[in-house]
């Protein structure tokens, strides 16, 4: 229920995880976001979660 509430959904409804980030349409966009995050905080660890499911298009 917690995740459903956070994602503005109902329990039991299948959701794509992670939800699409509308500023990232290519692998270059993702690289730029990671670069920008490191510019703000060079010591920050950045993790990326990618969707791996049949029928979901890839970024690259």
Q: Is the pTM of this model over 0.85?
A: no
- Residue 53 scores a pLDDT above 90: no
Q: Which residue has the higher pLDDT, 60 or 33?
A: 33
| DSSP calls for 8-49 | T--TT----SSPP-TT--SHHHHHHHHHHHHHH-TT------
Q: Two tokens at 13?
A: 């409804």
Segment 8-33 mean pLDDT: 84
Confidence bin at 1 (pLDDT 50/70/90): confident
Segment 22-33 mean pLDDT: 87
- Residue 38 scores a pLDDT above 90: yes
């Amino acid at each position: 229920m917690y995740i459903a509430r956070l994602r503005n959904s109902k329990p039991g409804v299948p959701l794509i995880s992670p939800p699409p980030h509308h500023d990232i349409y290519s692998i270059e966009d993702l690289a730029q976001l990671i670069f920008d995050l490191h510019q703000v905080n060079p010591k920050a660890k950045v993790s990326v979660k990618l969707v791996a499911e049949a029928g979901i298009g890839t970024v690259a």
